[in-house]
């Protein structure tokens, strides 16, 4: 905490020095959304380059003066929380003055900018993000406040903890981890008692694009157990994008890649080639939208696709057919095809990429 306080004090000192010299104070933040600032490393994923371009948030410019003020306001809130060892969610910060901040996304952006500027992970700033992910299966652990969580006993779903770094005593007999894109598929697998029938496993869903805590938990489970991690996504560009976030990270959070990515993650399904292999009826597939085409084209250009020839092939199949499918398409074969046939066969015969 002393490191965090010192980093904030240095920023404020810089502002005061500028004022003392009758200069307009400026905050310098790395440009987090520019692909030119990102390098791809096989062992880490997408990470920010040390000498990346930065943007200046000036106090004397009408376009950025408000953002400058909001950054100082949130820095002061973080400083007080670290000093008093209290925590707040991003929502708490927004609701402390909704008129001032204007929207939740403004708060989210500024907190990420501050984390990047100070080079300090967000949880060390005592800011917690609201968790939306779920976990179930063969896993038990103790939360930071001493609460014991046992996912193993039942088909109960547990919310991913809001302070993943604080959990300890993780135990599991799981043979693999399955990341499921959507909540509906996750619930279906629970109803079918999938994680007990095939072999003990841990199931996680970020319910779409994963939040920070879900990604941190996947990474923590990988560090703790070193067991295979598979993803079960829709066969569409959006599903591929989500899988890439778990595996290689995102551009906007590339400054935290070392804590968030798991490059060993495997693509289990739903593969575009599976649709042909299983003779899925064309009527059950969904035609591409313009947005799908653009998203797929942008994914195909990314640096990590070049080192994944089998993925590249699957994306080419998707691009050529211009059709996509949700995991639910497998119910056209039989209602429990996913848990009874598809997943057991894939896991037994190595049908992943």
The pTM of the whole model exceeds 0.95: no
The residues annotated with a catalytic role in the active site are: 95
Kindly state whether residues 228 and 121 are assigned to the same domain: no
Closest C-alpha among 153, 200, 212 to residue 172: 200
Q: What is the CA radius of gyration of the chain?
A: 22
The mean pLDDT of 214-234, rounded to a whole number, is 93
CATH of the domain at 105: 1.10.10.10
**Regarding predicted confidence, which is higher, 55 or 102?**
102
Kindly state whether residues 175 and 324 are assigned to the same domain: yes
Per-residue pLDDT at 6 exceeds 70:
yes
Kindly state whether residues 146 and 175 are assigned to the same domain: yes
Q: How far apart are CA 331 and CA 335, in angstroms?
A: 5
Kindly state whether residues 31 and 66 are assigned to the same domain: yes
Last residue of a domain, one of 93, 128, 163: 128
Lowest-confidence segment of 160-164, 196-200, 319-323, 327-331 by average pLDDT = 196-200
Residue 349: C-alpha distances to residues 86, 226, 306, 328, 346 (Å): 50, 21, 26, 22, 5
- Terminal C-alpha separation, the chain: 42
Percent of the chain with pLDDT over 90: 39
Quote the number of domains for the chain: 2
Domain encompassing residue 214: 134-349
Last residue of a domain, one of 71, 101, 128: 128
Kindly state whether residues 92 and 118 are assigned to the same domain: yes
The mean pLDDT of 64-84, rounded to a whole number, is 91
Kindly state whether residues 64 and 163 are assigned to the same domain: no
What are the pLDDT digits (tens) for 162-217?
Answer: 888 888 999 999 899 999 999 989 988 888 888 777 788 999 999 989 988 899 99
Confidence bin at 36 (pLDDT 50/70/90): confident
Confidence bin at 78 (pLDDT 50/70/90): very high
Kindly state whether residues 120 and 142 are assigned to the same domain: no
The mean pLDDT of 34-42, rounded to a whole number, is 78
Kindly state whether residues 47 and 162 are assigned to the same domain: no
Per-residue pLDDT at 340 exceeds 80:
yes
Per-residue pLDDT at 265 exceeds 90:
yes
Kindly state whether residues 12 and 103 are assigned to the same domain: yes
Q: Which two tokens stand for residue 267?
A: 């693509």
Kindly state whether residues 220 and 119 are assigned to the same domain: no
What are the pLDDT digits (tens) for 104-130?
Answer: 999 988 998 888 888 888 778 888 877
Per-residue pLDDT at 231 exceeds 90:
yes
pLDDT confidence of residue 214: 93
CATH of the domain at 194: 3.40.1360.10
The mean pLDDT of 209-233, rounded to a whole number, is 92
Residue 85: C-alpha distances to residues 5, 78, 88, 275 (Å): 12, 10, 10, 52
Q: Which two tokens stand for residue 161?
A: 């903890």
CB–CB of 93/133 below 8 Å?
no
Mean pLDDT score of the chain, rounded to an integer?
A: 88
Q: How far apart are CA 244 and CA 46, in angstroms?
A: 10
pLDDT confidence of residue 128: 82
Kindly state whether residues 64 and 114 are assigned to the same domain: yes
Kindly state whether residues 262 and 182 are assigned to the same domain: yes
DSSP code at position 36? G
Last residue of a domain, one of 97, 128, 159: 128
Beta strand residue intervals within 42-156, DSSP E: 45-48, 54-58, 88-89, 127-128, 134-137, 140-142, 148-150
pLDDT confidence of residue 154: 64
pLDDT confidence of residue 327: 92
């Amino acid at each position: 905490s002393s490191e965090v306080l010192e980093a904030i004090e240095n920023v404020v000192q810089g502002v005061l020095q500028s004022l003392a010299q009758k200069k307009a104070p400026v905050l310098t933040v790395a440009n987090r959304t520019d692909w030119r600032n990102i390098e791809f490393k096989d062992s880490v994923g997408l990470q920010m380059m040390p000498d990346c371009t930065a943007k200046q948030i000036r106090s004397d410019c009408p376009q950025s003066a408000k953002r400058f003020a909001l950054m100082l306001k949130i820095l002061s809130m973080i400083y007080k929380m670290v000093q008093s060892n209290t925590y707040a969610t991003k929502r708490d910060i927004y609701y402390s003055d909704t008129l001032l901040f204007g929207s939740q996304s403004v708060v989210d952006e500024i907190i990420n900018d501050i984390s990047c500027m100070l080079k300090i992970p967000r949880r060390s700033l005592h800011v917690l993000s609201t968790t939306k992910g779920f976990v179930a299966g063969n896993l038990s652990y103790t939360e930071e406040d001493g609460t014991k969580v046992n996912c193993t006993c039942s088909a109960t779903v547990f919310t991913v903890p809001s302070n993943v770094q604080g959990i300890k005593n993780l135990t599991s007999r799981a043979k693999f981890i399955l990341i499921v894109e959507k909540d509906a598929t996750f619930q279906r697998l629970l109803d079918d008692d999938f994680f007990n029938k095939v072999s003990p496993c841990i199931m996680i869903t970020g319910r779409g694009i994963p939040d920070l805590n879900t990604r941190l938990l996947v990474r923590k489970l990988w560090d703790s157990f070193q067991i295979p991690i598979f993803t079960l996504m829709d066969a569409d560009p959006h599903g591929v994008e989500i899988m890439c976030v778990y595996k290689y990270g995102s551009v906007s959070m590339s400054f935290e890649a070392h804590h968030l990515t798991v490059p060993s993650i495997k693509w289990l399904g739903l593969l575009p080639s599976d649709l042909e292999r299983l003779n899925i009826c064309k009527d059950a597939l969904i035609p591409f939208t313009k947005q799908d085409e653009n998203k797929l084209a942008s994914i195909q250009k990314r640096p990590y696709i070049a080192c994944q020839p089998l993925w590249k092939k699957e994306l080419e199949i998707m691009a050529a057919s211009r059709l996509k499918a949700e995991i639910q398409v497998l119910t056209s074969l039989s209602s429990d095809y996913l848990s009874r046939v598809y997943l057991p066969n894939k896991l037994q015969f190595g049908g992943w990429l």
